[in-house]
Structure 1
Amino acid sequence: MTTFVDRVELHVAAGAGGHGCASVHREKFKPLGGPDGGNGGRGGDVILVVDQSVTTLLDYHHSPHRKATNGAPGAGDNRSGKDGQDLVLPVPDGTVVLDKQGNVLADLVGQGTTYVASQGGRGGLGNAALASARRKAPGFALLGEPGDAGDVVLELKTVADVALVGYPSAGKSSLISVLSAAKPKIADYPFTTLVPNLGVVTAGSTVYTIADVPGLIPGASQGKGLGLEFLRHVERCSVLVHVLDTATLESDRDPVSDLDIIEEELREYGAGLENRPRVVVLNKIDVPDGQDLADLVRPDLEARGYRVFEVSAVAHKGLKELSFALAEVVGAARAAKPKEEATRIVIRPKAVDDAGFTVKLGDDGIYRVRGEKPERWVRQTDFNNDEAVGYLADRLNRLGVEDALMKAGAGTGDGVAIGPEENAVVFDWEPSVMAGAEMLGRRGEDHRLEEPRPAAQRRRERDSERDEAEKAYDDFEPF
């Protein structure tokens, strides 16, 4: 049965925003009291949060599909819909979030660190929010925006100050069991340790964490044995400790060759491990001939520049000197780290020539419009409502999309697509002189379908309508 998981693929989906409501206030003797449709609620986010009590990704291995709740739709009488509830997913300290291509999206280290893996959709505006002096009673509302959905990969990299590396059965688990209160599984056969073990060591005033990594063998960096699965757990350590077996029963092995092979695997793996401080531990000196072999190889190891300690995890020899030496190296590494600066607010103003969208002619002859605003507006438009379509045309025109299409060479009847290629809204472009909703008369009618009139004629019609309205007001006599 699987009890430890340090890599999972998580399928996350945020909640969709609730639709806005198109409603007209009605009461006795006042059947048309104005628009009163409320806004839709925001969809819930999917948020990853570091929780120190969580040590594995096992829950997400069994249940990889996670979805936040949707926002509620708006209602009449200016009642806004309820926001969707955020889905908070606890992850272990040291979790790295990647996309499916392997690009790092976030490195979650430290209690309470958060990352929004999937953002909820915006709620649609109701017709009360869309009302204006020119559009007093909109007969439409905006749709809720769909929430983000996608796949992310979670990788756990153990947050430890000291990492014990070495061949299987070199005594790493025994060493961590006597240096700390950790109780890993210990046996006299290879690959006893199948998951990294973490312990806390106190040496004087210094407290540090120590982890033993499942045994490495030649070719571990290419996937042999267990090394490839767990080498990521040593990436964050401050010091690497080579645990060398001085009592090995294999005739073709000795501490120096074991060290060379493990070092070669670490170089092949990369990730900056070649620059970490090293300490060498000659273990099992209590075994017959173990002390003799340690005395034989120690000068060679010290000549290479290693600090060498002779210990026996079983007999508890040399442990105090080793723990204080590791505390010294860890303390130096902590002191060398740059101090975290106070959080600063970074303001990145947009360029003066940034229109907020782009227009490009695709290989298929379709003009493609990409940009946050036009894509969001399209997603929130009810294309079954002519007035809503006219409102979208107004917004796109004010943003400058129509002018950009003209500059790009688009002509009447050319295909225009707004949005990503796999989910775009495509239509035949008909350039207009006037904005959409300004030409609307009764609700549900779109006069852009009629022949365009000259600007001078439109001005005369507006002036005539204003004069008639002023005359009707002057002639009005109250009861």
Structure 2
Amino acid sequence: MTTFVDRVELHVAAGNGGHGCASVHREKFKPLGGPDGGNGGEGGSVILTVDAQVTTLLEYHHSPKRKATNGKPGAGGNRTGADGQDLVLSVPDGTVVLDRQGNVLADLVGHGTSFVAAQGGRGGLGNAALASARRKAPGFALLGEPGDARDIVMELKSVADVALVGYPSAGKSSLISVLSAAKPKIADYPFTTLIPNLGVVTAGETVYTIADVPGLIPGASQGRGLGLEFLRHVERCSVLVHVLDCATLEPGRDPLSDLETIEAELAEYGGLEDRPRLVALNKVDVPDGQDIADLTRASLEERGYRVFEVSAASRKGLRELSFALAQIVGEARAAKPIEESTRIVLRPAAVDDAGFTITEEDGAFRIRGVKPERWVRQTDFSNDEAVGYLADRLARLGIEEKLWKVGAQEGDTVIIGPEENAVVFDWEPTLAAGAEMLGRRGEDHRFENPRPAVDRRREKAKGRDAAESEFLAFEALSSGRQAAVEGDDEED
């Protein structure tokens, strides 16, 4: 059963933004209450955060699809929809985030370091937020934007100061077990170590970490054995230690040939040429081990290596090796530039940056830009007023004028957005002047000089009083005529 995973492919999807609400305030004795549609909530984002308690990517190996929650839509009464919950994914220290093409997106080193892998979608504006002096009663709202969705690759590169490299069963696990408190698996057969082991070593006032990398064999850089899977774990180290087996019984092997083989694999992998090297001649406590060490020491020193004769069993030479590593690690740390506090970098747009581009592709004109593409995603094309609002926004941005300049004619195909998610329409130049032709979009003429409700009630009461007076006068007149008729009858 897999217990350690240091490379996974993960599909992350942020939450969509909630749609805005198109609503009109309705309340007794308050006619023409105006728009009161609330904004949609923001979609949740997917965030990768370094957690010191996490040491493997195993969790994402079993569950490679992760999605944050969507924002809630707005409601009447100026009620804003609830925001979606961010999805925080804990990753080990030293995780590198790449896209499918291998481009590095983030290098997460240090507890608490985070990276937004997928940004949540914006919530759409309700018609209350869209109301203005020109557009007093919008009959539409903006749609929420979809959240980002992408495939990423996460690779774990151990954050260690020292890396032990060598053939399988060269004694690397034994050394790390006596140099530190680490307890790796130790056995007398090749490829005992299946995962990198980390240990913490204290030498005087210097504390550093040491990694035991699974054994390398010829062809490791091309994928043979386990070496290629774990060579990435030595990329961050400050010093490499060649652990050479002085007691091997395999024919054709000796410390010098082992060293040349491992160096060839490291060179083939690349990126480690500038790391200082030390050599640990291991297992000098066994029969013939010391003799082989004596024979090869001079040759190694002639090649420029610092050589240490060590034994994990008798602990010979471990103190000298530990302090030599501490010195190199200390020098490497001192040579690193001091990390400055977070700086805010301002990148103003160029003076001639219009915010969009127009290119001609196979007889059509494609418009690309953050604003026009976002506005298209927010538009409800089933609502004519919303489409008109989009046309006004595009015209104000200068797209109409730019299309004329690049030679677009009435009826030409215009595409807004990338190929996989684009809006296509036939260009009508008069559409861009819609604000001038159609007047103020979304205006409700009932809002022009509305009479107060008190005046209307007074007129209604005045009319009622007049009707009652007319009726009483008619009734009095009728009574008078009847009395006159009765009097005539009596006289007759």
Normalising by structure 2, what TM-score? 0.89
**Distance of 1:55 and 1:173 partners within structure 2:** 18
Deviation, 1:442, is: 9.7
Deviation, 1:250, is: 1.1
Q: Is 2:397 aligned against 1:392?
A: no
Aligned equivalent of 1:46: 46
Answer yes or no: is the 8 Å Cα contact 2:17–2:144 preserved in 1: yes
Aligned equivalent of 1:291: 290
Q: What does 1:18-417 align with in structure 2 at a 5 Å threshold?
A: 18-271=18-271, 273-363=272-362, 365-417=363-415
**Distance of 1:217 and 1:349 partners within structure 2:** 52
Amino acid at match of 1:205: E
Aligned equivalent of 2:483: none
Q: CA RMSD in A?
A: 1.9
- Number of residues paired by the alignment? 453
Answer yes or no: is the 8 Å Cα contact 2:134–2:440 preserved in 1: no
Amino acid at match of 1:166: G
Aligned equivalent of 2:426: 428
**Distance of 2:421 and 2:432 partners within structure 1:** 28
**Distance of 1:429 and 1:89 partners within structure 2:** 45
Answer yes or no: is the 8 Å Cα contact 1:95–1:155 preserved in 2: yes
**Distance of 2:234 and 2:250 partners within structure 1:** 27
Deviation, 1:305, is: 1.0
Distance 1:442 1:291, change over 3 A: closer
Amino acid at match of 1:356: G
Amino acid at match of 2:243: V
Aligned equivalent of 1:461: none
CA deviation string 1:307-346 (max 9, x = no partner)? 1100110111111111111111111111111111222211
Amino acid at match of 1:52: A
- 2:244 aligned counterpart, secondary structure: strand
CA deviation string 1:354-392 (max 9, x = no partner)? 0000000002x1100000000000000000000000000
- 2:430 aligned counterpart, secondary structure: coil
**Distance of 2:32 and 2:13 partners within structure 1:** 41
**Distance of 1:433 and 1:63 partners within structure 2:** 49
> Identity over aligned residues, as a percent?
81
Structure 1 range deviating more: 353-362 or 435-444: 435-444
Pick the structure with greater CA Rg.
2
Aligned equivalent of 1:455: none
Answer yes or no: is the 8 Å Cα contact 1:206–1:327 preserved in 2: yes
Amino acid at match of 1:195: I
Answer yes or no: is the 8 Å Cα contact 1:311–1:318 preserved in 2: yes
Deviation, 1:422, is: 1.4
Deviation, 1:425, is: 0.3
**Distance of 2:438 and 2:150 partners within structure 1:** 40
**Distance of 1:32 and 1:437 partners within structure 2:** 24
**Distance of 2:328 and 2:110 partners within structure 1:** 22
- 1:231 aligned counterpart, secondary structure: helix
Amino acid at match of 1:220: A
Deviation, 1:29, is: 2.1
CA deviation string 1:405-464 (max 9, x = no partner)? 11111111110010001110000000017633454479889xxxxxxxxxxxxxxxxxxx
Answer yes or no: is the 8 Å Cα contact 2:48–2:90 preserved in 1: yes
Amino acid at match of 1:330: V
Aligned equivalent of 1:460: none
Distance 1:183 1:433, change over 3 A: closer
- 2:229 aligned counterpart, secondary structure: helix
Gaps of 5+ in 2: 460-492
Amino acid at match of 2:214: P
CA deviation string 1:51-91 (max 9, x = no partner)? 11100000000001000000000000000001111100011
Amino acid at match of 1:372: V
Gaps of 5+ in 1: 446-464
**Distance of 2:433 and 2:99 partners within structure 1:** 42
Amino acid at match of 2:309: E
**Distance of 2:169 and 2:438 partners within structure 1:** 82
Answer yes or no: is the 8 Å Cα contact 2:51–2:93 preserved in 1: yes
Distance 1:442 1:331, change over 3 A: closer
Runs of 4+ aligned residues of structure 1 deviating over 3 Å after TM superposition are 437-445, 476-479
Aligned equivalent of 2:7: 7
Answer yes or no: is the 8 Å Cα contact 1:386–1:444 preserved in 2: no
- 2:89 aligned counterpart, secondary structure: strand
Distance 1:144 1:399, change over 3 A: same
Answer yes or no: is the 8 Å Cα contact 2:135–2:440 preserved in 1: no
- 1:432 aligned counterpart, secondary structure: helix
Amino acid at match of 1:417: I
Amino acid at match of 2:412: D
Answer yes or no: is the 8 Å Cα contact 2:355–2:371 preserved in 1: yes
Answer yes or no: is the 8 Å Cα contact 1:385–1:444 preserved in 2: no
Answer yes or no: is the 8 Å Cα contact 1:220–1:228 preserved in 2: yes
Amino acid at match of 1:410: A
**Distance of 2:17 and 2:83 partners within structure 1:** 8
**Distance of 1:203 and 1:171 partners within structure 2:** 21
**Distance of 2:72 and 2:441 partners within structure 1:** 26
Answer yes or no: is the 8 Å Cα contact 1:387–1:437 preserved in 2: no
**Distance of 1:290 and 1:56 partners within structure 2:** 37
CA deviation string 1:108-147 (max 9, x = no partner)? 1111111100000000000000000011000000000000
Aligned equivalent of 2:473: none
Aligned equivalent of 2:466: none
Distance 1:354 1:208, change over 3 A: same
Answer yes or no: is the 8 Å Cα contact 2:391–2:431 preserved in 1: no
Answer yes or no: is the 8 Å Cα contact 1:21–1:37 preserved in 2: yes
